[in-house]
Copies of this chain bind each other. A is one copy, B any other.
Amino acid sequence: MNMIYRDLGKSFTEWFDWVLEAAELYDYGRYPAKGMGIWLPYGFRLRDSILKVMRNLLDSTGHEEILLPLLIPDHILAKESEHIRGFEAQVYWVTHGGIEPLDVKLALRPTSETSLTYLESFWIKSYKQLPKKFYQVVSMFRYETKSTKPMIRVREVTTFKEAHTVHESFEDSERQVKEAIDIYRKFFDELGVPYIISKRPEWDKFAGAIYTIAFDTLMPDGKALQIGTVHNLGQNFTKVFEVRIQKRDESIDYAWQTSYGISERVVASVIAIHGDGRGLVLPFKLAPKQVVIVPIYSSDKDQRNKVLQYCEKVHSLIKQAGIRCYIDLRDEMRPGEKFYYWEIRGVPIRIDIGMREVERNEVTIVRRDTLMKEIMKLEELPEALVKVGTEIDENLKERAWNAFKSKVRRMDDVDKAAAALDQERGIVELPWCGNDECSETVSERLNADALGTPLSIDKEEIRGRKCPVCGNDAVTFMRYAKKY
């Protein structure tokens, strides 16, 4: 099995394009505007399952869903100078309504810190209203000039979950950053997607933030994919939009903010990281169809009826337990074609039912993750399926983490790191003195990007280590990878 899984790495891009099309997840490249994809029904439902996990985590931690306008007037977007400098090259502008030029140019939201903070200046007056935790799931737009890639680098990001919070003090905003990291950890753990959490270097933080924490995963080709970011915005936006609040001690001060986001890259990572040479492999908890029943019968009418009746019985038994189960009754397809059809679509458990199963009051199940068969007694259903579903999710998570860990390597020497990356792409960590130029030098020599530093390190880990460029004492590690 591992072979199939590993084989992916060789031509990940081709495989990814193939699986999006073959599993009918996402249409890309046909639409006559660059960098814009279509969520097809099956892909839409997978996306929806993933968003449900996120919404549950946010709702249960006091976040409230809202919906803000897409269009941001230029004078609002430009109010925070760092922010607009970071985004201006990538903003789509609406300049005309009908044939009339507009008085004020309107940006398609590249993110919503500016428009929301503007509104918060009306809404929030007192510490009594705080903390406020808003989120929305919307399309956002970036006029990407680099080459685009389905779900991974698009011009319309259709699945932007952006959260925005407001606090009374810096300490409260720091606690919120921790909560956000914790929520994202739980989220990726639920999806079985491995990650490494880094504090992005100063030159790569979100435009307008004090600092940015990022979650990166590795795609099967060993390139790093940023799948989530958390920003402490300090008072940068509240100062320019004048969000003043009365504090507990009756003084007046600007409020403190954080923001954090994910996008459809999360869906891409679920597809890419769990998939294998035969197509999608979906975690049981996320699969739009968790179990598919394939009836197998000869041309004998009586046998056919018996098999189909038994299938219906098994189907209703499973459905009653709240499992998303589907019987594939298509007459024009042979069982082998159906196996192939559902394998590509990554359905976690297939149940094959023929006369043998009918006679013995059994079912034969085939796990998508291992392709292993197992016989189950009818009376063990549906509990046994739930158990297997849980095992599938654990197995997917474990094998994803194992593959990930083997590609994250801590080293002391740049040449050895370069050789290691040459042999197997992934992440290398090297001691760092804290000097930006040293990190730049390493980046160039490795032909890799600086992902950032660990959130915390044990003093013992770093003691005695030297920056491989200047030779000074290292204060932390810097991580490098080829980024998407």
A interface, CB within 8 angstroms of B = 27, 30-33, 36-41, 44-45, 48, 64-73, 75-76, 88-100, 104, 106, 108, 115, 118-119, 122-123, 134, 139, 143, 145, 156, 158
Once the chains bind, are A76 and B32 in contact (CB under 8 Å)?
A: yes
**Which B-chain residue is minimally distant from A67 (CB atoms)?**
B39
Task: Out of B39, B73, B95, name the residue touching A96 (CB < 8 Å).
Answer: B95
Once the chains bind, are B108 and A98 in contact (CB under 8 Å)?
A: no
Distance A27 CA – B116 CA, assembled complex (angstroms): 12
8 smallest beta-carbon distances between A and B, as pairs: A97-B143, A41-B64, A36-B69, A39-B67, A93-B96, A89-B98, A95-B95, A92-B94
Min Cβ gap A139→B in Å is 6
Min Cβ gap A160→B in Å is 12
Once the chains bind, are A119 and B88 in contact (CB under 8 Å)?
A: no
Distance A30 CA – B124 CA, assembled complex (angstroms): 14
Instruction: Say whether, besides A76-B32, A91-B98, A143-B98, A27 and B64 are in contact (CB < 8 Å).
Output: no
**Which B-chain residue is minimally distant from A64 (CB atoms)?**
B41
- What is the oligomeric copy number? 2
Q: In the complex, which residues of chain B have a beta carbon less than 8 angstroms from the beta carbon of A72? A: 33
Known A30-B119, A71-B92, A90-B98; 8 more pairs at CB < 8 Å: A32-B76, A32-B118, A36-B71, A41-B66, A69-B156, A91-B98, A98-B145, A139-B139
Q: In the complex, which residues of chain B have a beta carbon less than 8 angstroms from the beta carbon of A94? A: 92-95, 108
Min Cβ gap A455→B in Å is 31
Q: In the complex, which residues of chain B have a beta carbon less than 8 angstroms from the beta carbon of A67? A: 38-39, 44, 158
**Which B-chain residue is minimally distant from A76 (CB atoms)?**
B32
Distance A38 CA – B31 CA, assembled complex (angstroms): 30
Which of A36, A45, A115 is the most central at the interface, judged by chain B CB atoms within 10 Å of its CB?
A36
**Which B-chain residue is minimally distant from A27 (CB atoms)?**
B119
**Which B-chain residue is minimally distant from A96 (CB atoms)?**
B93
Once the chains bind, are B73 and A32 in contact (CB under 8 Å)?
A: yes
Instruction: Say whether, besides A89-B98, A91-B98, A94-B93, A69 and B115 are in contact (CB < 8 Å).
Output: no
Q: In the complex, which residues of chain B have a beta carbon less than 8 angstroms from the beta carbon of A99? A: 88-89
Min Cβ gap A133→B in Å is 10
Q: In the complex, which residues of chain B have a beta carbon less than 8 angstroms from the beta carbon of A71? A: 33, 36, 92, 156
**Which B-chain residue is minimally distant from A26 (CB atoms)?**
B67
Min Cβ gap A61→B in Å is 14
Q: In the complex, which residues of chain B have a beta carbon less than 8 angstroms from the beta carbon of A98? A: 88-91, 143, 145
Q: In the complex, which residues of chain B have a beta carbon less than 8 angstroms from the beta carbon of A88? A: 98-99
Once the chains bind, are B27 and A39 in contact (CB under 8 Å)?
A: no
**Which B-chain residue is minimally distant from A90 (CB atoms)?**
B98
Q: In the complex, which residues of chain B have a beta carbon less than 8 angstroms from the beta carbon of A33? A: 69, 71-73, 104, 106
Once the chains bind, are B30 and A44 in contact (CB under 8 Å)?
A: no
Q: In the complex, which residues of chain B have a beta carbon less than 8 angstroms from the beta carbon of A119? A: 27, 30-31, 38
**Which B-chain residue is minimally distant from A87 (CB atoms)?**
B98
Once the chains bind, are A66 and B93 in contact (CB under 8 Å)?
A: no
Once the chains bind, are A68 and B115 in contact (CB under 8 Å)?
A: no
Which of A31, A44, A76, A88 is the most central at the interface, judged by chain B CB atoms within 10 Å of its CB?
A31
Min Cβ gap A317→B in Å is 22
Once the chains bind, are A70 and B139 in contact (CB under 8 Å)?
A: yes
Task: Out of B65, B75, B90, B96, name the residue touching A44 (CB < 8 Å).
Answer: B65
Q: In the complex, which residues of chain B have a beta carbon less than 8 angstroms from the beta carbon of A156? A: 69-71
Q: In the complex, which residues of chain B have a beta carbon less than 8 angstroms from the beta carbon of A158? A: 67, 69
Q: In the complex, which residues of chain B have a beta carbon less than 8 angstroms from the beta carbon of A118? A: 31-32
Min Cβ gap A330→B in Å is 11
Distance A66 CA – B40 CA, assembled complex (angstroms): 5
